[in-house]
Each structure stands twice: as C-alpha cells, then as structure tokens.
Amino acid sequence: MARVAVVTGGTRGIGEAISLALRDAGMTVAANYAGNDERAREFTDRTGIRAYKFDVADFDACLAGVQQIEAELGPVDVLVNNAGITRDGTMKRMNRQAWDDVIDTNLGGCFNMAKAVWEGMSARKYGRIVNIGSINGQAGQYGQVNYAAAKSGIHGFTKALAQEGARAGITVNAIAPGYIDTDMVAAVPADVLEKIVAKIPVGRLGKAEEIARGVAFLCAEDGGFITGSTLSINGGQHMY
C-alpha cells in the first residue's frame, strides 16, 4: 500500500513541486492549501492530487484536516511542513500582528501538523517529517525579523523533535532553501533581485524541483538513518 504524504502549502510554488515529486515516488499525496480555491481546483485537475483546505496556523483545523485526510486516504506516514507567509518590514515599521501572523503560520504550523500526525506515526513505528526552513533563518535578513525568527525556530524544532522520534522510527529533518524562482521571489524588485543573484556562487536562482528532489530523498523508505539534519540547497550562497 502506498505511503500517504501530506504537503502543507502544497498546491503552488515549492509546495507543488514537492507534491509532484512525492507522487512520482509512488506516494499518495494530500496537498494542503489555505485560500486560493481556484488555484487548488486547477492543481487537482492537472495533477490528480487531492487538495485539502485548512489553515495550518489553526491547531483545531489541523487536527480536523489530518483526520479527514486519513479517513479518505489512509494513515499519514509522511509530513512536509512547507506552508509559509511573509509580512516583511523593519522593526520600526513592523506591528505585532505581522509578527504573530508569520510566527503562527511558519513555525506554529509545524507544531500543529506534527502534533496531528505524531501519535499515529509513533504507534506504527514509522514516519518521515521534513520541515522547510530558509537561508534567511540561518543567516538572517534585513526587514525580516519575523520570518527569520520563524525559520530559525524551524531548525531548532527539527533537531529537538528528531531526538523524540528516533526510537519510534520517525525521522525529522529540515531543508533550508536559498532564493528559488517562485512567485514570492518574483515579487522582489528587479534591481534588488539582481543584487541577490550576484551573491549566489552558481549564478542563478534555484528551481522548485531542486528543493523537491531533496525532500523526496529525505522521505525515502531507506532514509531511516538521516535525522535531525538540515540540508541547505542555496547554490553556495550560505555555507552553514
């Protein structure tokens, strides 16, 4: 029977590439999304992957969402915490809501989803959890104290949870992408983006499929000896 994988923020950008990579690896994939119903329908029609709408920042919604997925597809053995948002601004301009929104979604969502699947994974003595961090959680970034804090927190969350899951057959790893050619990066002003690319040793933005390849590697059946690790995929921009 195919493993069931949940990918949060799984219908667009990096999340879409991850959903497709896990599907192509033989898994049954459930792609979570938060709000764009039209995009989710188009994604499902094109890929055959079911999309499930709930907010990862909402603990009860995550429990209910996973319950629905398991009722329809089977027990969840693979979780990819990819959902994330930005509310950029300097400390001078950032308000508390912008801080809370990013922390609750990007970091809180990892807790909410892991909590929802943890008991089942532990009982079955098998699980793969991959959390998507960021180069900006490793190196910091001007105007992103909320985003950098959340992504840095993901790396600590990963290391701690890996220790809890090790004896239960659950691996917990993270991937720290650099600047990837997605809608989020495309919104960066051209002159700023040019400066960013100039700092990447390989001389280009990354591709979502390159992140997805790393996720598929960490989620593999024979990946049981890799846990608590962070895989940096950033073109050499930050060697950590």
pLDDT for 152: 94
Nearest to 78 by CA among 17, 29, 26: 29
DSSP-assigned states of every residue in 94-124 = --HHHHHHHIIIIIHHHHHHHHHHHHHHHHH
Q: Give the catalytic positions in this structure.
A: 147
Residue pair 197/180 in contact by the 8 Å Cβ criterion: no
Q: What is the pLDDT along the chain (240 residues), one digit of tens a residue?
A: 799 999 999 999 999 999 999 999 999 999 999 999 999 999 999 999 999 999 999 999 999 999 999 999 999 999 999 999 889 889 999 999 999 999 999 999 999 999 999 999 999 999 999 999 988 778 778 878 999 999 999 999 999 999 999 999 999 999 999 999 987 777 788 888 898 899 999 999 999 999 999 999 999 999 999 999 999 998 888 886
pLDDT for 142: 81
Nearest to 122 by CA among 90, 87, 53, 169: 169
CA dihedral (149, 152, 156, 159) in degrees, to 10, reads 160
pLDDT for 145: 94
pLDDT for 187: 77
Residue pair 178/234 in contact by the 8 Å Cβ criterion: yes
Nearest to 205 by CA among 221, 227, 183: 183
Burial label for 129, CB within 10 Å (0-12, 13-18, 19+), is buried
Nearest to 132 by CA among 102, 174, 162, 161: 174
pTM above 0.75, yes or no: yes
d(CA 202, CA 206): 9
pLDDT for 38: 95
